[in-house]
Amino acid sequence: MKIGIVNDMPLAVEALKRVIALEPSFQVIWVAGTGAEAVERCASQRPEVVLMDLLMPVMDGVEATRRIMAETPCAIVVVSGDVAGQTGRVFDAMGHGALDVVGTPVLGPGDIREAAAPLLRKIRNVGWLIGRYDPTRGAPPPAAGLGPSAPATRLVAIGASAGGPAALAELLKELPADFPAAIVLVQHVDAHFAAGMATWIDAQTVLPVRLAVDGEVPRVGTVLLAGTDDHLHLRPDGRLCYTHEPAAALYRPSIDVFFQDLASHWRGEAVGVLLTGMGRDGAQGLKAMRERGFLTIAQDRASSAVYGMPKAAAEIDAAAEIRPLREIATRLMNCLPTLRAPAPRGY
């Protein structure tokens, strides 16, 4: 895979080059020291993956990501030496289409493979997603509180990937404090960054947003975010849990996994929503929800930062409705009071 590095720190660039050199199928084709240079480089020699720093002179990584995705789209992974301190910038970049975030590898003396593993895993994941990395070549696979509200009989499940954080914030901030359903979010984001994402979204909505806890029941008026590198499941008893299986799923957590569980186990009313993102995760699960009789909604092309997952859902007729992002919150508020749960199957 052809990789571009965007970073103005020589030591960081050297560390990234050493890590990438560990994988023979990866090739650094250029290094840009500013965001403006990165935009130019992508236009003249488009890479398959861009490793984007955020703090740079002339044009920062957020604006560079926006420009690249608008002009010469390619897969972008944010690589920052201070992920926790750059929460707002990271989610701004993801809102413009960056796929993921990882810390800049810190290389010490001796074998660098342990420090290199997180970044290599991110690049491999992106490669599999865009069809440019073949796992059969022998490379290692990806590494693997209850509120006062009542247990929910209505649940809205929302899946998102690239561009998802900003889309989720925009959707959720339109929902009222007395929204009559539980909400569960499955966003493709590294577990180390999930807590920061929950806090960031929580600050923009009147609904409380926090990480889902193993064993809890979704509750009315509470937004739960999948928060580990395992898959979030819904058990037949209505409780949430995290498990490693299915181990073969590319993204952890998988949207398909949670949507399929809803179709199999949820006993009340439900709505499935699939937002912006690259790839196909969520499409089959959304179809299962529709076949069960639940309302299913996919974001439209015009309002999606990356029209991959919603497009995949539309292609297989998984979405009963395709709507711009600005309409989805209103649709949820209008439909939930009148929805009727499908007949239970085998309960």
CATH code, 23: 3.40.50.2300
In a domain, 22, yes or no: yes
Q: Are residues 319 and 171 in the same domain?
A: yes
Q: Which residues are catalytic?
A: 161, 188, 281
Provide the edge-to-edge strand list for the sheet that holds 295-299: 209-211, 223-225, 182-187, 154-160, 269-274, 295-299, 321-323
Please list, in sequence order, all residues whose beta carbon lies within 8 angstroms of the beta carbon of residue 206, skipping any fewer than 6 positions away.
173, 175, 176, 177
Q: Are residues 310 and 211 in the same domain?
A: yes
Per-residue pLDDT of the chain (347 residues; tens, 9 = 90+): 999 999 999 999 999 999 999 998 899 999 999 999 999 999 999 999 999 999 988 899 999 999 999 899 899 999 988 877 888 889 899 888 888 888 999 888 777 888 998 899 888 878 776 766 544 443 333 333 333 456 788 999 999 999 999 999 999 999 998 999 999 999 998 887 888 888 889 888 999 999 999 999 999 999 999 998 899 999 999 999 999 999 888 888 999 999 999 999 999 999 999 999 999 999 999 999 999 999 999 999 999 999 999 999 999 999 999 999 999 999 999 998 645 444 444 43
Residues forming a β-bridge with 138? none
Q: Are residues 189 and 222 in the same domain?
A: yes
Q: What gap in Å lies between CA 273 and CA 232, rounded to an integer?
A: 16
Alpha helices for 109-150 (secondary structure H): 113-130
Q: Are residues 20 and 104 in the same domain?
A: yes
In a domain, 345, yes or no: no
From 137, 166, 192, the end of a domain falls on 137
Convert 295-330 to b/e letters by CB count within 10 Å (16 or more is b).
Answer: bbbbbbeebbbbbbbbbbbbeeebbeebbebebbbe
Q: Count the domains in the chain.
A: 2
Residue 108 burial (CB count, 10 A)? 8
DSSP 8-state secondary structure symbol assigned to residue 85: G
Token pair 């890590």 is found at: 19
Q: What is the CATH number of the domain that holds 174?
A: 3.40.50.180
pTM over 0.75: no
Structural domain boundaries, residue 76: 2-137
Please list, in sequence order, all residues whose beta carbon lies within 8 angstroms of the beta carbon of residue 104, skipping any fewer than 6 positions away.
12, 15, 16, 53, 79, 80, 81
User: How far from 35 is each of 42, 63, 119, CA to CA, in Å?
Assistant: 11, 7, 21
Q: Are residues 46 and 97 in the same domain?
A: yes
Q: Are residues 130 and 233 in the same domain?
A: no
In a domain, 145, yes or no: no
Q: Are residues 168 and 53 in the same domain?
A: no
From 86, 110, 137, the end of a domain falls on 137
